[in-house]
Amino acid sequence: MQKVIFENCKEVNSFLDLFGGIGNVAWSFNDIYSEIIINDILESNYLSYISFFDDSEINHKKLQNYIVEYNKIKVDKENYFSENFSNTYFSHENSKKIGYIREDIDLKYNNKEINDRERAILITSLIYAMDSIANTVGHYDAYRLNGDLEKELILGILDIPENSTNKNNRIFKEDANSLVERIYADIVYIDPPYNSRQYSDAYHLLENVANWNKPKVYGVAKKMDRRNIKSKYCTTSAPKQFEDLINKINAKYILVSYNNMGNRGASRSQAKISDSEIMEILSTKGKVEIYETDYSQFTTGKTKQGNHKERLFLCYVGKKNEEYENVETINGFVKCPLNYTGGKYKLLPQIIEKFPKKIGTFIDIFGGGFNVGANIEANTIIYNDKQKEVPRIIKLFLKYSHTQIIKKIEYNVNKYELSNKEISI
C-alpha cells in the first residue's frame, strides 16, 4: 500500500482513514504526513486512536504504576462483568478483575487523577490484554465450550512514542458518510467492511467494555443491543452507501481497499460491492487504476483468479479517465468485441424496446456474446452459457478495462511473435 501511494500520489500532507479499524494503516503514515485524520464507528477503536494519535500530554510513569498495580490486584467482590461473563470468554477470576479495573479507570478519571488520553490508554491496554487471552475463535460471536480459561489477564504498557508527531492529527467516531461531508484530505483511504459480518457483532464484548454503560446482555454469546453501531456497508445497501460516500469526498486521491471474494464462498462472506460497481462509481470522480496488495498492477497480467486478493483502487480525482473515452457505442449500446455467431447487437433497438422499463432480475440464458444482457438496465443481470470458455471471457471483460485487455493481448502477440493484423494491413 505504501509503495502504491509513494509512487503515485504527489504533494500529500494529509491522510484521512475513514474506516480506521485497529488503526495500523493510518499509523504507518503517522511519521510521514503532517496530518492524520482517523475515524471508526466503534468506541474501542476510537479509544485506541486517542491513545496513539492524540497530542495531549500524558504521564508515562504514572500510567506504568497503575498498570503494575492492576496486574497485582486480587478481586473478591462480584461486579457487572463477572456477573455476566464469568466462565464464558473469561474465567471467573479474570472476569472479576476486568470489571474491577474498568470501573477503577472511570473512578480515577472522575476524580481527575487521569486525563482523557490517559483514560483511553488504560482502557485500550485492558482491551488488548482481554483480547489476547479471550476464549474465542478470534471474534466474540461465540466462545469455546471447553476452551482454555486458565490464562492470566496481564495488562501491557502501550508502546506510545514519547516524541509525538501528532500535533495536527484529528480523531473521530462518526458514520463515514456524514464525516466526509466536512473534511478535506489529500488522500482519503477507504477500507469498509466487505461482507455481511458486522464488526459490532464480532467485537460486541470489547465495545461493551469500552463504553462501560453496563447494558443488559442476551443469548449465549452475551451480546448487548448493537443497533446504533450496525454498518450499512454490511447490507445490500452497500453500493448505494459507497456511491453517496464517493460523491461527497473532497480530496486529491481516493484509495479504496476491497476484498475480491466476489460471488464465491459462503454467502455471509460474499462481497457486498462488486468490482465493476467500485470502478463505475470511482470513475465519476476521475481516472482509476487498480493494484493488488502485492503491488502488481493488473496490466502486467500476473493476477491469478481464485486467490483471496485485496485490491487497491486508486482514483486521481479530477483527472480524465481516458480508459473509457474510446469505447465504441452505436445508439448508446456497447458492442461485444467477440464476433459471435447469432450476436444480437444490430437488433438491440428493437429487442430492448419490448422490455419493461424497470427490471429486477434479467437472465440472459443463452448469453453468447452478451450483447443483450450487457446493454440492459436491471438490478441484477445473470449471464449463462453452456460453452465454458465464453463465460470466462465475459468475466474478463467485466473485470478489466479494455485498455488493460488490449495491452495484455499486444504483450502476448509480441512475446509469441504472432502476426499483428493491425500492423500488416
Q: Where does this chain bind ligand SAM (CB under 6 A)?
A: 19-22, 24-25, 39-42, 45, 175-176, 191-193, 199, 231, 233
Measured N-to-C along each axis, helices 116-133 and 60-72 cross at an angle, to the nearest 10 degrees, of 40
If the CB atoms of residues 206 and 336 are measured against ligand SAM, the closer one turns out to be: 206
For residue 197, the minimal CB distance to ligand SAM (Å) is: 10
If the CB atoms of residues 292 and 364 are measured against ligand SAM, the closer one turns out to be: 292
For residue 144, the minimal CB distance to ligand SAM (Å) is: 24
If the CB atoms of residues 131 and 175 are measured against ligand SAM, the closer one turns out to be: 175
For residue 127, the minimal CB distance to ligand SAM (Å) is: 14
What is the secondary structure of 350-403 as a DSSP string?
HHHHTS-SS-SEEEETT-TT-TTGGG---SEEEE--SSSHHHHHHHHHHHS-HH
State how far the Cα of 54 lies from the Cα of 70, in Å rounded to an integer. Answer: 24
What is the secondary structure of 319-352 as a DSSP string?
---GGGTT--EETTEEPPSS--TT--GGGHHHHH
For residue 241, the minimal CB distance to ligand SAM (Å) is: 7
For residue 105, the minimal CB distance to ligand SAM (Å) is: 22
For residue 272, the minimal CB distance to ligand SAM (Å) is: 11
CB neighbours of 70 closer than 8 A, spacing ≥ 6? 97, 101, 104, 126, 155
For residue 278, the minimal CB distance to ligand SAM (Å) is: 15
Residue nearest to ligand SAM (CB): 21
Pick left, alpha or beta for residue 65 (phi over 0 → left; psi -120 to 50 → alpha; otherwise beta).
alpha
CB neighbours of 403 closer than 8 A, spacing ≥ 6? 322, 323
Q: What number of other Cβ atoms are within 10 A of residue 320's Cβ?
A: 10
If the CB atoms of residues 193 and 373 are measured against ligand SAM, the closer one turns out to be: 193
In one-letter notation, the amino acid at residue 372 is V
If the CB atoms of residues 201 and 364 are measured against ligand SAM, the closer one turns out to be: 201
If the CB atoms of residues 244 and 277 are measured against ligand SAM, the closer one turns out to be: 244
State how far the Cα of 133 lies from the Cα of 114, in Å rounded to an integer. Answer: 27
Inter-CA distances, 415 with 211, 297, 393, 408, 424, Å: 61, 19, 21, 10, 17
If the CB atoms of residues 63 and 179 are measured against ligand SAM, the closer one turns out to be: 179
